[in-house]
Structure 1
Amino acid sequence: MSKVLYIKANIKPEGESRTFKVSDSFIEEYRRLNPEDEIITLDLYNEKIDFLRPADLGAVFGPKSEESKNHPILKYAYQMAEVDKVVIATPMWNLGAPAIVKAYFDYVSVTGITFKYTAEGPVGICKADKALIVSGRGGDYSSEIGSQFEMGERYLRTILSFFGIKDIKSVAAENLDVVGVDIDKILSDTIEEAKKIAKEF
């Protein structure tokens, strides 16, 4: 049995997010194919995610104990370190991801929990071996020109790889804000692509 961490980051109410229409469909298909697996849903906007404060640094950089797993900040790093698979659903905002996503990864990036320093440099120590990034984008950011401006998925791939996750896939619904496009078809096609990924995830 695998443990899957499903991270959701969109301020829109449930049912309105086009990103979540894709990611929820993926999770539904994954659950159908893997009924024994545990799926942990973490909606960042329902958590008390905040920017790190000076008072938090002692916990983040200080010694860790068994009690650290219950710390309001460190618990997210331990959670990330202990799951088998990660799914992140977040829209593109201003060429990147919502600020809360970066704030979350500031919580999660903790030496000795999700990565460690060695004589050869930093090494990821998370248990997970697979991750999926799901995003909704207003324009075309997969083309040669558009990809130069895409910094959300690029950041997520980099930080997840830094944690030691090697198999990272992505699926994006693009051109959602382009006038005249068939949004329903774009979403439908992207959902089908996500369901195909679920078969081997």
Structure 2
Amino acid sequence: MSKVLYIKANAKKPGESRTFRISDSFIEQYKKLNPDDEIITLDLYKEGIDFLTEEGVSLHVPKEGEGKNHPILKYAYQFVETDKYIIAAPFWNLSFPAILKAYIDYICVTGITFKYTADGAVGLCQGKKAVYIVARGGEYSEGSTKAYEMGDRYLRTIFGFLGITDFTTIAAEKLDVIGEDVEAIVQNAIKNAQNKARNF
């Protein structure tokens, strides 16, 4: 049995997010195929994730006695104890919502999700896998605008830093381009997500 963390980062009301339409379909398919797995949904906006304060920054090297119930460190412990990750976040301003970056600052903690060695930093989340699901208004996976895409690149890099190199992206693109069949694009992304869920 695997533990799956479904990380959601979108401020839109339920039913309005195209990203969540795709990611929820992925989750539904995954549940059908893996009914015994534990799926934990972490909605960052409902969770009230905030930017790290001076106190939070000092926790990046946990002190003795600061455990899994700590209001900030609990996210790093939850992350390292998870086997699979689904990150659902829209493409905002060439990246993703700032709340997701704030969450990443919570989980990147020395001694929990990575450590320093004589040879440098080593991720402590090896052998895990992640899928990033994103809806984009334009086309950023190829062509002249590919260089502007920073969300997928950042997530791949930071997850790799933590030891997670099995990383897949499912993107629905050109959703705000005039003349495009938006619903058809979303449906194709949903089918892609359901197919990817079979081997996740």
**TM-score, scaled relative to structure 2:** 0.97
Give matches, 1:151-162, under 5 Å: 151-162=150-161
Contact 1:8 1:42 in 2 (8 A): yes
Q: How does 1:1-201 map to 2 (within 5 A)?
A: 1-65=1-65, 67-126=66-125, 129-201=128-200
Matched position secondary structure for 1:27: helix
Measured after TM superposition, the shift of residue 184 of structure 1 is: 0.7
The structure in which a higher percent of residues are helix is 1
Aligned AA (2:89) = T
Amino acid across the alignment from 2:61? F
| Unpaired stretches in structure 1, ≥5 consecutive residues | none
Task: Say if 2:136 and 2:172, in contact at 8 Å, map to a contact too.
Answer: yes
Moved more, 127-136 or 81-90: 127-136
CA RMSD of aligned residues (A): 1.1
Task: State the shift of 1:52 in Å.
Answer: 0.8
Distance 1:104 1:64, change over 3 A: farther
Deviations 1:52-83, CA, capped at 9 Å, x for gaps: 11122333324243x52111110000011000
Q: Displacement, 1:128?
A: 5.3
CA contact (8 A) 1:115 1:123 kept: yes
Deviation at 1:42, TM superposition (A): 0.2
2: CA distance, partners of 1:48 / 1:60: 20
Cα distance between partner residues in 2 of 1:60 and 1:103: 14
Instruction: Output the CA distance in 2 between the equivalents of 1:64 and 1:46.
Output: 30
Is the Cα–Cα contact under 8 Å of residues 62 and 110 in structure 2 kept in the other structure? no
> Quick one: distance in 2 between partners of 1:159 and 1:29?
27
Q: Report % sequence identity.
A: 58
1:180 offset after TM fit, Å?
Answer: 1.2
TM-score, L = length of structure 1: 0.96
1:33–1:57 distance in 2 versus 1, CA, 3 Å: same
Matches of 1:180 and 1:58 in 2, distance apart? 50
Q: Secondary structure at the match of 1:19?
A: helix
Q: Which amino acid aligns with 1:8?
A: K
